[in-house]
Amino acid sequence: MATPSKKDQLFLGSFIHSTKLDELTYLHNAAVFVDAQGKIVHVERDCDEQRAREALVPRLGWGAGEDELVVVRGGGTGEFFFPGFVDTHLHASQYPNVGIFGKSTLLDWLNTYTFPLEASLSDQAKARKVYSRVIRKTLSHGTTCAAYYATVDVPSTNLLADLCLSYGQRALVGRVCMDQLAPSYYRDESPAASLAATRESIAYIESIDPSRSLIRPVLTPRFAPSCSAPLMRGLGDLAAEMPHLPIQTHISENKNEIALVAELFPKASTGAADDSYAGVYDAFGLLTDRTILAHGVHLSESEATLIASRKAKVSHCPCSNSAITSGAARVRWLLEKGVVCGLGTDMSGGYSPSVLEAARLAALVSRHVAMGGDEKAKLSVEEVLYLATRGGAEVVGLEDRVGGFEVGMDWDAQLVGLGVVDPLGEGVVDDQEDGNVDVFGWETWPDLVAKWVYNGDDRNTKKVWVKGRLVHERK
């Protein structure tokens, strides 16, 4: 479980964060002051420990004794503080299935692998085991904020929220709504039952963190095919009644899914301008500036324009889109349309719990899009890291709180360490423990960051904090 900080903290060393889509800012020999509530209260460049303690700590009215101030020094070779990752789309309930997808595609994957596992998590003991592990695992990969889907079951969804709070992970937690096209053993009995269960789960999650300091509920229509029109309408009404609630769902992931949506929701039935998938969510009041749309692989021009005009956000899930062969989402095209994008692991459509891996795959998939003819589609290291942090924060509606190191933001951060430089210059170091990145000592900082993105993993994630609390430490 997470250790509450309750003390003022001083972080010293190198800090790297995104300041624009294609720009990382490097602060070396800097000091970041984080108060006992986990907020960044001051950032000082060119500041060693002595100056921080003597000149700045008293100015903040802090005590400098060991009982009052925690000092965290980053500054080893290739060591830097980086904002925590935001995973904008993952299914906590599918975690035991990571890697298990064979050659399936979306609709058969749901029926074969996914629904049976999700249904089984109404067993509380099993849900506890699965949810504890997914939270601890994602924290160990630097995910400080996650937008989770749980299951249809209210008690186990609520348990996921409890566990996020006790492990200290910032989270959106959604009870999955689905009242059709799912097995009879795993769906809501009626639209009314689905809405009542949703309200029950929202009320519980809001009760355990009334100030929404870490945990918040999220309306979760699974996707249009599994929600009847009355349920979609009811959820749209609920979204209007509770304008603070985020909404998450899937869109345009797979071509058979898109055909199914057009068949289930012809424009005549919804009053939408066309038969498009985005138009269906819009017709039911679910396409809003609080909506997180996962995938968006096959969106049309007019859908992207509609999504941009509603200020809905897209969670790009390159691991899942590749694993279950959904397609290659055009992230540059979405960004140029003005759609805010972040990254999602989408476990277990995606097999990896790591947002760093999602960033790497976003870079690779963008190269496939480029090879398909759109040369400017390629995403740089800076851009994928922006999506993993600032972009993700905006997708989940927390851009004022997390994603960077500005004063006023919460200290949601990771200490990254890239291993040791060969001390004797003989090309032999015992750095197995330090992971997969080899540092030679002559790299520039941008080179080190690129090596982290393309070869790093959780062995490089040395410490992780959420709202100032140390929530993971690699021993």
Ligand X SMILES: Nc1nc2[nH]cnc2c(=O)[nH]1
CB of 178 to ligand X, least distance (A): 8
- Comparing CB distances to ligand X, the nearer of 191 and 349 is 349
CB of 178 to Zn ion, least distance (A): 13
- Comparing CB distances to Zn ion, the nearer of 294 and 340 is 294
Nearest residue to Zn ion, scored by beta-carbon proximity = 346
Mark 338-357 with x for binding to ligand X (rule: CB under 6 A) and - for no binding. --------x--x--------
Q: Is 141 in the site for ligand X (CB under 6 A)?
A: no
Taking CB under 5 A as the criterion, which residues in 261-280 touch Zn ion?
none
Q: Which two tokens stand for residue 97?
A: 């299935």
Q: Which two tokens stand for residue 107?
A: 């609709």
Helices and strands, counts by H and E, the chain: 18, 18
* CA–CA distance, 435 with 458 (Å, rounded to integer): 8
Q: Contact with Zn ion (CB under 5 A): which of 153, 346, 382, 410?
A: 346
Q: Which one of ligand X, Zn ion, none is in contact with 343 (Cβ closer than 5 to 8 A by kind)?
A: none
Q: Which one of ligand X, Zn ion, none is in contact with 223 (Cβ closer than 5 to 8 A by kind)?
A: ligand X
* CA–CA distance, 383 with 385 (Å, rounded to integer): 5
- Comparing CB distances to ligand X, the nearer of 33 and 101 is 101
* CA–CA distance, 427 with 430 (Å, rounded to integer): 10
Helix runs in 247-296, H state only: 255-264, 267-270, 277-283
Cβ contact 369:377 at 8 Å: yes
Q: Contact with ligand X (CB under 6 A): which of 104, 114, 144, 366?
A: 114
Q: Is 253 in the site for ligand X (CB under 6 A)?
A: yes
Using the rule CB under 6 A, give the single segment among 56-64, 106-114, 198-206, 305-313 that binds ligand X. Answer: 106-114
- Comparing CB distances to Zn ion, the nearer of 90 and 306 is 90
* Residues contacting Zn ion: total by CB under 5 A: 2
Angle at 13 between CA 7 and CA 19, to 5 degrees: 95
Q: Contact with ligand X (CB under 6 A): which of 222, 310, 330, 401?
A: 222
- Comparing CB distances to ligand X, the nearer of 206 and 253 is 253
Length of the chain: 475
Buried b (16+ CB within 10 A) or exposed e, 17-47: bbeebeebeebeebbbbbbeebbbebbbeeb
Backbone torsions φ then ψ of 92, nearest 5 degrees = -55, -35
Q: Is 320 in the site for ligand X (CB under 6 A)?
A: yes
* CA–CA distance, 93 with 348 (Å, rounded to integer): 9
> Residues interacting with Zn ion, by CB under 5 A?
294, 346
> Residues interacting with ligand X, by CB under 6 A?
91, 106, 110, 114, 222-223, 250, 253, 320, 346, 349
